[in-house]
Structure 1
């Protein structure tokens, strides 16, 4: 009875287009009010408890660092640098999109901002160079996903908080997964350019490469500082987020000189709003997850998975199916927060490494950003490029197929994402 009421509240909330955090919180309050003797005054305490995590403290600081770097002139410099390296190769401009999105996303951690910052510059350049508009839109919309895999990744931070696993090991697994996606996307760019007969750009000379590298070195240095500090034992991942803010502010205000104190104030406000959107969702989803747990819904959902306890491959297959379907209707963080407690128990019983499971889950929810009907990147791209929604959907379909192939490889060839963490965290 309780599970049916939970489902009914969820469906009704989604059908009338309520914000997802309102749906989660309202479902919990209605269900507890009608079926439980637990005082409703406990529920706000549970909401607050969902945010009482030192790990989650990294999210607002990484958001702030990302906003500073995004508005500090990094995107133009990254594009110019990557273009000097691969622009002359077959599909060079397409590969420039993929690699720029990978680097820019690894610094900003936001696929939406990557689409806007990189796409507004490179989509017109792609179409002018002979690529079809559909290819140009699809390349930017989908390449922006890679930034959620390359550390630092907010989705991985949330999984680490839920599953109580090492953020450092998760970050390292994301590098292998991100590089696989980048390689697959670049291979598609090469094949497309050769079939479509897209002309190559002139090769950059050594002096041009050095000049572009000098311009971008401070920007790409932020992930190096963060990861070097974390894996060198200088600071934790949460402390690294604070270091990232000071580093980004120094680069944007002193080195690039494209933001000032008044800009910094506006950036703080914008990043505060962006952080609050994520954290209020985390809080509401934490309450909803607690409801599912004490009502027995989580155990009921996990029961079919437990029947596969001797078959890790089947549990991983079911994990992919559940998260991909969930990604069609809910956002990245909701998908991760709700499904992680359901999957962790059966996966642990089957002997699946929780770090490997984490990168599989993050890749799944990341793909949800480009999965119709409610993929976030689809709507961001439609707004950024002024195109109809269904035009964006058609543009991402080939890239979505490549993403699913990469997901299968990451799921069933764990050596690819786990090579680095197994050496750094034996």
Structure 2
């Protein structure tokens, strides 16, 4: 499954916008409220309506609501161009007084051939709630070993329902007792994916909380210490939940693949990829995900300059408000390999420093330009007190003042 183009018409804040997507990682960037999550919503709702047409998906479709229509209009439209099982498709979904869904090609022979295939095109959505543990009622379909299980609740904003995953894990362990090669491959794939992202995590396993209880938990070793999933940080748990969920679905959707991690294909939608992640993890998350799942296409939102700096120009989509509408900018964007301060200032249009400190730096530069070295020196002393020490900008400004003072002394000496 790979999406190539999305067009939104009078959908929420978008009057008309077109998005082009590349293989690998695609990042939606922009200020709060500009429509990044709206793009993900358009995709997940649209695919919920068309996946049952050509996959083993048996889920109820999601709906666009009347409130999704841009104010002042009576209809919204979403157009998606994508490829599934090597076949190009176009899908049009609109909502006025009712829903209208069209897919091309709509040949029953083509659609049924994909639906019956041993490997299924998959779309999975991860919301900002993915790290939150819940004991809400389980969807029993998730623990089944069939292709339809891969699609169960895949496109809703779900929390981490641990019991669903551990139930499925225990089924695999029971199959191991029957010498099942498939179950062994499943458990190996899960451990391999976790180990490749978290090289400090080992021995992932499921344990009953007591001999009498049916309740289970997930244990692992972290730097030699045994922890359960409740004891992990939100950042660790959020990434672990994403990896385990995606691996499980790829295994269920692709029973014929020898290596579902390497060869399994899915469109993966992630809201706030940087959620709860330390900047050092933000630096590595793009590379890790695209290495572990090389045939998956990711579309993610982020506010992190560290993550933005890890994505090639063709994978960046900047959303900006212009007059009364939101536009998608994809040409002329470059952030890969650039430092976070540059990305903050030039791409995200945000000063990398505290505004009072930046104003003080600007005042010093103005004084230098006007030749008032005494004032510049006093302003520099104030700056040093403001930031409790020195940094590269202080060194630069102090060097400029010293050089200009030395030059002024030379001029005075010559005049004498």
Q: Which structure features the higher share of strand residues?
A: 2
Q: TM-score, normalised by structure 2?
A: 0.22
Higher relative contact order (CA 8 A, sep 6+): 1
Q: Which structure features the higher share of helix residues?
A: 1
Q: TM-score, normalised by structure 1?
A: 0.22
Q: Which has the larger radius of gyration?
A: 2
